[in-house]
C-alpha cells in the first residue's frame, strides 16, 4: 500500500451518443477516411460540452481533419458491444476502466500499439504487452449530499445505519466500471470475498437497487434523492462544478484509514479497426503534453504522463482531496480471471 502524495491524473452508463457527434454507421463510417470511432466509458465528456473529450476531440479534428464519432456506455457494456461486433468491427479505439480494459485484451479485442508519449506513463498504468495505455488517471470514490449530509460518512459500517434506507445506491458490478470497483474495494477492505459479500448483503437493506450508469447517480445525490452513491474522483469532481451539493469521500473499514485505488481511463486500438491509422493518431494526440495538461484543468482528472506536472487550480484541489488516503493496487490479473465468480457471488449475496 502507499499513501497518495501528489496528483497522478471512471464509469459508466446506458448507451448514449455524445451531443454533436454521431454513432458509428457501418458502411458510412467505413467510406469516410477522415473519421475515427471511439467506444468509451462515460465521465470524460462534459454535460455542457465542456469536458476533456470535448476539448481534445475538437482540437484533434482541427489539427488533422479527422472527425471523432463517439459512442458512450458502461465500461463492461462497451467491451461487450465490441465483442459482439468482432466479425464486423465498428470501433477504432476503446476507452474503458479496469478490469474491463484487461478483459478486452484477454478476449483479443485489442491490437498492439504504443502511442507516442507512452514511455512517460507508469508501468502499472499500461499493458505489458502493449495493447493499452492509460490516457487519464483517476481514483475510485464515493459521493454524498453536502446539504442534507454535511459531514461525509467515514466508514462502510456507517452506511448500514437506517437513515440511509432508500437513500443509498451504487452502480451494478459487472456492468459499470465503478460498480465493479465497489466489489474490488470491499474485498480489499474487508479482507476477502466472503466477508465482503456478507457486508454487501447487509448493505442491500438500504440500497435503492441496480443502476447501469454511475454518472446518473450524481444528479440524484445533488438533488437529495440519494444521500450517498458510488463514483470516481475525476467524474464527480467535474460534475461538482455544476452540481454544488456533491462531496467526494472514501470509505474506511471501521476506524481505519480511508482507502482507494487507481481506476484510470485506459485506451487501446481495436483489433481489425476500420480506421487503424486514424486510431493511432488519436491515441498519440491524447497523450501529447498539451492534451495531458488539460486533463486536470478541463477534465478534473489526473494526467497519465509522469512528466506533466499539473499546477492549475483543479490540480491543487484534487491533490488536497487525496491527502491522507491510502492507495492500494488491486491484483488485476486475478480480477480479470475471476470477475464472473465475484459478480456471481455478489448477485447471490444481494439477491440481484
- Structure confidence by residue, pLDDT tens digits, 122-165: 998 999 999 999 999 999 999 999 999 999 999 999 999 999 99
Q: Are 171 and 340 in contact (CB under 8 A)?
A: no
Before 99, cis peptide (omega within 30)? yes
What is the Cα Rg of the chain in Å?
Answer: 19
- Determine the pLDDT at residue 176: 87
Please give the C-alpha separations between residue 25 and each of 64, 65, 88, in angstroms, as whole numbers.
21, 19, 12
**Backbone φ and ψ of 142, nearest 5°:** -125, 165
How much is the average pLDDT of 51-69? Answer: 98
Residue among 270, 251, 42 nearest 160 (CA): 251
Mean pLDDT in the chain? 91
Q: Are 127 and 134 in contact (CB under 8 A)?
A: no
How much is the average pLDDT of 243-258? Answer: 96
Contacts of 167 (CB under 8 A, 6+ apart): 206, 208, 226, 227, 228
Helices and strands counted in the chain (H then E): 12, 15
Q: Are 76 and 177 in contact (CB under 8 A)?
A: yes
- Determine the pLDDT at residue 9: 33
Distance CA 126, CA 143 (A): 28
Residue among 322, 320, 292 nearest 308 (CA): 292
- Determine the pLDDT at residue 47: 81
What letter does residue 155 receive in the DSSP assignment? B
Residue recorded with cell 445505519? 161
Whether 42 has a pLDDT exceeding 90, the answer reads no
- Determine the pLDDT at residue 32: 56
Distance CA 247, CA 288 (A): 31
31-45, 66-80, 201-215, 255-269, range with the lowest pLDDT: 31-45
Burial class (CB in 10 A: 0-12, 13-18, 19+), 204: middle
Residue recorded with cell 479485442? 109
Q: Are 24 and 32 in contact (CB under 8 A)?
A: no
Please give the C-alpha separations between residue 3 and each of 6, 235, 258, 324, in angstroms, as whole numbers.
9, 22, 10, 7
Distance CA 67, CA 21 (A): 9
- Beta partners for 126? 133
At 306 the three-state DSSP class reads: coil
Whether 213 has a pLDDT exceeding 50, the answer reads yes
- Determine the pLDDT at residue 247: 98
Whether 5 has a pLDDT exceeding 80, the answer reads no
Alpha helix (H) residue ranges in the chain: 27-31, 52-64, 75-84, 100-106, 177-190, 193-203, 217-223, 233-239, 276-286, 289-297, 313-322, 332-350
Please give the C-alpha separations between residue 260 and each of 49, 248, 269, 336, in angstroms, as whole numbers.
29, 12, 28, 19
Residue among 178, 183, 251 nearest 217 (CA): 178
Q: pLDDT > 90: what percent of the chain?
A: 85
- Determine the pLDDT at residue 175: 87
Q: Are 295 and 55 in contact (CB under 8 A)?
A: no
Please give the C-alpha separations between residue 172 and each of 5, 75, 76, 344, in angstroms, as whole numbers.
31, 11, 10, 12
Amino acid at each position: 500500500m502507499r499513501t497518495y502524495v501528489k496528483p497522478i491524473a471512471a464509469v459508466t452508463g446506458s448507451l448514449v451518443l455524445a451531443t454533436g457527434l454521431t454513432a458509428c454507421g457501418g458502411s458510412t463510417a467505413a467510406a469516410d477516411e477522415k473519421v475515427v470511432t471511439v467506444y468509451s466509458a462515460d465521465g470524460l465528456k462534459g454535460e455542457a460540452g465542456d469536458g476533456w473529450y470535448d476539448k481534445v476531440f475538437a482540437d484533434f479534428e482541427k489539427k488533422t481533419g479527422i472527425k471523432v464519432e463517439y459512442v458512450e456506455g458502461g465500461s463492461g457494456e462497451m467491451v461487450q458491444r465490441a465483442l459482439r461486433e468482432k466479425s464486423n468491427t465498428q470501433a477504432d479505439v476503446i476507452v474503458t476502466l479496469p478490469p474491463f480494459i484487461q478483459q478486452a485484451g484477454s478476449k483479443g479485442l485489442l491490437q498492439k500499439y504504443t502511442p507516442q508519449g507512452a514511455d512517460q506513463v507508469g508501468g502499472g498504468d499500461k499493458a505489458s504487452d502493449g495493447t493499452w495505455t492509460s490516457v487519464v488517471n483517476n481514483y475510485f470514490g464515493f459521493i454524498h449530499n453536502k446539504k442534507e449530509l454535511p459531514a461525509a460518512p467515514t466508514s462502510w459500517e456507517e452506511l448500514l445505519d437506517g437513515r440511509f434506507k432508500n437513500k443509498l445506491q451504487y452502480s451494478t458490478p459487472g456492468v459499470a466500471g465503478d460498480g465493479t470497483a465497489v466489489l474490488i474495494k470491499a474485498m480489499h477492505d474487508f479482507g476477502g470475498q466472503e466477508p465482503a459479500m456478507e457486508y454487501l448483503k447487509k448493505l442491500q437493506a438500504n440500497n435503492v437497487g441496480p443502476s447501469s450508469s454511475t454518472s446518473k447517480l450524481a444528479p440524484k445525490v445533488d438533488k437529495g434523492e440519494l444521500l450517498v452513491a458510488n463514483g470516481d474522483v475525476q467524474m464527480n469532481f467535474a460534475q461538482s462544478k455544476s452540481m454544488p451539493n456533491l462531496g467526494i469521500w472514501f470509505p474506511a473499514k471501521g476506524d481505519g484509514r480511508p482507502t482507494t485505488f487507481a481506476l484510470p481511463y485506459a485506451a487501446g486500438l481495436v483489433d481489425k479497426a476500420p480506421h487503424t491509422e486514424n486510431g493511432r493518431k488519436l491515441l498519440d494526440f491524447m497523450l501529447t503534453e498539451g492534451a495531458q495538461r488539460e486533463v486536470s484543468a478541463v477534465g478534473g482528472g489526473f494526467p497519465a504522463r509522469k512528466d506533466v506536472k499539473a499546477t492549475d487550480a483543479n490540480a491543487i484541489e484534487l491533490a488536497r482531496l487525496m491527502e491522507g488516503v491510502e492507495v492500494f493496487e488491486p491484483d488485476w490479473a486475478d480480477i480479470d480471471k475471476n470477475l464472473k465468480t465475484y459478480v456471481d457471488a455478489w448477485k447471490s449475496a444481494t439477491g440481484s
